[in-house]
Structures are given as structure tokens and as C-alpha cells.
Amino acid sequence: MRPLTAQWVANAVGGELAAEVDARVTSVEKDSRDVQPGALYVAFVGERVDGHDYAPRAFESGAALALVSQPVAGPHVLVEDVTAALGRLASAYLALLRIEGDLTVIGITGSNGKTTAKDLLAQVLDDAVAPVGSFNNEIGLPLTVLRADASTRHLVLEMGASAPGDLAYLTRIAPLDVAVVLTVGTAHLGGYGSPEALAAEKATLLDGLVPGGVALLNADDDRVAAMAARPSLHEDGRRVRTYGTATGADVVAAEISLERGCAAFTLAGVDGMADGPRAALRLVGEHHVTNALAALAVAVECGLSAEDAAARVSAATPLSPHRMALTERADGVWVLDDSYNASPESMRAALRALKEVATTGRSFAVIGEMREMGDASREAHEEIGLDAVRLRIDHLLVVGEGAKPAHASAVREGSWGDEAAYVATIDEARAFLDGRLARGDTVLIKASHGTGLWKLADDLLGVDA
């Protein structure tokens, strides 16, 4: 982070500096345990924890300043709303970086794949700053912006949306040079009511482009491809480019093949090339072709050659935990951990990936609830149960009441009996697997993060909590 004076911070957020402070802020933290000397400690008030209670610990650790909504003992800036103030600080800081340096801001949204695409770009682009984990909301995005400094050439931002207006707010904080839309599925459908309403929200990302900016749209998703007609994309020198497997896209994946679940493809279309370099992904699942193409399209827009971009994407590895990580245990059991989050689209993709990698033994799909589905939840889970049967997954284990319709639909499908099972708790799931898994088997763990099923994946792999 570029050093900032306490007064500059106060001016940027429109807050009251409690006392004359001769200090420079060199980082921003929301957890007092992460504070290092020179940090700005941001005191959020949550449902269970009030950050103001931890201000003394932050100052003991060397915090130079605190951003607060109530006075604390120590140098602080007082504001009415800490979250809004953090957004204003990030916006002013990004404007400062743009003035002082050569910075390209890239925003990525989509129902699925945001974090994977972000992680790919973090490894493909030089001098890139990208979110840690899935920092994609009104708190995580500003914190990511504030990690950039004068040496940052590419700022990669993951932009999530749970309710109407979320993306418009995020792009006001960080106007974009490059806007990437991956997919419009059914994740967070409960906040919108219909895929069409969700598509309308995702399209607002494009309104956040600066003049001369470029929109990169997935030509394989009809709802995303239709966004090319958005009026804001045809003003102030903005451009539209597409990527996908569809003929006619600007960046195309052709001749797709799979080896133990990892896709390889020929990159075509870039600079008019009919037959370009080959990219071989280290990510499990054919669905990652879309994420890789998005990263390749961004890389080319940022000046990389097709050959260099393909080589860098091929070398990229999974960065964020619990996302399609395939690990062989010492006992020969393979664990496919995709337990960070789940939607109907990503669940189906994970089931297909399980079939692709389970080449030496039986396939076990352990699934939990897909949350934030609203009224569509029951039907969505029933469809996943049917998918497991139709894909010929050897064993389906459904965990938790919210996902129970998946078990019922799998059993109703006909031929399944003992192949499908239901347990209420994670401990029961572990006991079920311990009694059945054998060398060569592959077990998929997949659910929304809030279910806690990721703890089962960690447990199976011996990861300390």
C-alpha cells in the first residue's frame, strides 16, 4: 500500500480525525490479529463481534489509526458508517494510484468461476494484485484495492452480487478498464427471483467501464452474449470482445481434450489466427475452459502475445482452497475438494469432473445444501440427485436437511438403493466414508460454504482446522 497520512484518510472518508496525528498508514486490516505497525484498523460491528472492542489490541500491535463509528481510546477517524467509509477510502486511493502510475483495473463477475478466473489472472499478469480467497463484496473489494501500490500494473477484482445494486456500488468504488462476465446461472437466485433479473444485475458491471474500456463476454452463455447490445458499451470508445467455444467468438477454444479431468485446447481467433498455441490446464474439470479463456482474453487485451498467455495459463495452479483440488491420500484414496461453494451449475460440473477423474476405482459424491436458492431450492436439489444417477456416480451421500431432496430424487429414479444415502451431520458423513472408501476410490466434497462441509474435506485430508 502507498503510505497515506492520517489527515488524508480522514479527508477521503469524510470523517472526523479525533486528534492531530503525525502518523502514516501503510496497510489496512479488519482483524486486530493481523495488524502490523502502521496499519489502519477498521472496526466493523457484526452480528456477534464488535470490532471496537478489539481496538486496544490493534493499537498494542502498532496500528497507526483506527476507522470507527464510535470513539475509542487511541488515534482514530470517526464516521457514521464504517463500511461506506471504507468504500470511499478505496475509491479515493484508486484515483490517486491512477494519477500516479500506469494501472489497469480488471473486474470479473459471474454466477460461477469468478475466483478461479481471478486466480488464473493473478498468475498470468505481471505485477498483479488480486483478492485473497473470495474477497468480492463491499468489504473485501475495498480491502483488495487498498493492497495495491505504485508498482501495481494490474489490479484484478472479483465482484460478487447478492442483491440488486451490488455491482453498481462496487464499480463506483473501482471503475474498470476491463470488465469480464463469465456466466449467468442460478447462484444467489434467492436475491433476484429469476435468471433474467440476475442477468440484468450482472450486466450492470459493464456500466462501470471507463471510457475506452473493453467488455469481455462469454459467447457460450446466451444471457451473457446478449449483453453486447447494452447501450453503455457503445459510448465513449468502449469495445466488446467475446470468448468461448462458439464459432465466431474473438477468442476461441478449439480441439478440447481431457486427461484425468484436466482440459487442453487450441487457442484460435486471436489476431485472426486459425490455429494458435495449445493450452493445457492444471485445473480439474472441463468447465474451467471458460475461466481459462476469460483469463486468456484479458491477458491478450493487456498486451501479452497469444503464445505467452497460453504458456502462463498452462503453468497456473489452483490458488484458493476448496476449489477443485484433487489430492491423493497416502492410502490411495483420491479426494476432489470443491467444497467452497455451490450452485446447480457448479454442482453439475463437479459431478462430471468426478466421473472424469475416477478412473481407478469407485466414485463417491458427497454433497450438501446449495444455499441462497430461494423458492427454487427443492427442485434444484432434486435435479442434482437425478444428475448423479444419470452420470452413473457409484455412490451418492447427501448431508444435511437442506440437501435432502437430492437423496429422495436419486432413490426415486429407479435402480438406486444402497448407492444413495442420507446423513444429517458431518460426523455421520465421515463415519460413512471411513467404512467404505478403499484404495483407488475418488470422493467429491461439494456444498455451499455456509454448510461447513469443507470441514469434512479438511478432515479427510488431515488438514488442521
CA distance 266 to 274: 10
105: which 3 cell numbers?
Answer: 483495473
Average pLDDT over residues 61-68: 97
Same-domain status, 236 and 121: yes
Q: What is the mean pLDDT of residues 165-183?
A: 97
Query: Dihedrals φ, ψ of 18, to 5°?
Result: -65, -30
Q: How far is CA 70 from CA 42, 59, 67, 120, 378, in A?
A: 12, 16, 9, 40, 44
Of 315, 337, 368, the one marking the end of a domain is 315
pLDDT tens, 395-419? 999 999 999 999 999 998 866 667 8
Per residue in 416-439, pLDDT tens? 667 899 999 999 999 999 989 999
Give the Cα separation of 133 and 120 in Å (integer): 13
Same-domain check for residues 133 and 236: yes
Q: Is residue 95 part of a domain?
A: no
Q: Among 315, 345, 371, give the residue marking a domain's end.
A: 315
| pLDDT computed for residue 272 by the predictor | 63
The whole-angstrom separation of Cα 362 and Cα 359 is 8
Strands 76-78 and 16-17: antiparallel
Mean pLDDT calculated for residue range 337-357 = 93
296 and 354 in a single domain? The answer is no
Predicted pLDDT at 135:
86
188: confidence class by pLDDT, cuts 50, 70, 90: low
**Count: domains in the chain:** 3
pLDDT at 117 over 70: yes
CB 219 within 8 A of CB 183: no
Residue 311's CATH number? 3.40.1190.10
Handedness of CA 61, 64, 70, 72 (dihedral sign): positive
Check whether residue 11 and residue 130 sit in a common domain: no
Residue 105 falls inside a structural domain: yes
Q: Looking at residue 394, which CATH number applies to its domain?
A: 3.90.190.20
Average pLDDT over residues 215-235: 96
pLDDT grade, residue 19 (50/70/90)? confident
Judgement on whether residues 195 and 67 belong to the same structural domain of the protein: no
Distance CA 127, CA 361 (A): 43
The phi, psi pair for 247, rounded to 5°, reads -60, 135
- The band of 271, judged by pLDDT with boundaries at 50, 70 and 90, is low
Residues 6+ apart with CB under 8 A from 182: 108, 109, 110, 111, 112, 113, 114, 117, 218, 221, 224, 290, 291, 294
Domain match, 335 and 286 both:
no
Range of the domain at 29: 4-79
283 and 203 in a common domain: yes
Partner residues linked to 50 by β-bridges: 45
Q: Which residues contact 309 (CB under 8 A, 6 or more apart)?
A: 124, 267, 295, 296, 299, 300
Confidence of residue 173 (pLDDT cuts 50, 70, 90): very high
Q: What's the Cα-to-Cα distance from 265 to each of 258, 289, 436, rounded to whole Å? A: 9, 8, 37
What cell was used for 129?
Answer: 494484485
**Greater model confidence, 175 or 274:** 175
Based on the fold, state whether residues 301 and 346 are members of the same structural domain. no
Clarify whether residues 75 and 123 are in a common domain: no
For 7-16, the pLDDT digits (tens) are 999 999 999 9
Helices (H), 125-207: 140-145, 166-173, 195-203
CATH code, domain carrying 55 = 3.40.1390.10
| Mean pLDDT (the chain, rounded) | 93
How far apart CA 248 and CA 269 sit, in angstroms, is: 8
pLDDT digits (tens, 9 = 90+) for 83-105: 999 999 999 999 999 999 899 99
Give the pLDDT band of residue 318 (cuts 50, 70, 90): confident
* pLDDT at position 187 over 60: no
pLDDT above 70: residue 186:
no
At CA 109, angle to CA 106 and CA 112, rounded to 5? 135
pTM of the shown model: 0.85
Q: Is residue 91 part of a domain?
A: no
Q: What is the pLDDT of residue 129?
A: 96
* pLDDT at residue 316, rounded to an integer: 95
| pLDDT at site 300 | 95
pLDDT of residue 273: 64
Question: Where is the domain boundary, 25, 48, 79?
Answer: 79
Is the pLDDT at 465 greater than 60? The verdict is: no
Residue 351 has pLDDT above 90, yes or no: yes
Rounded to 10 degrees, the C-alpha dihedral 385/196/222/121 comes to: -80
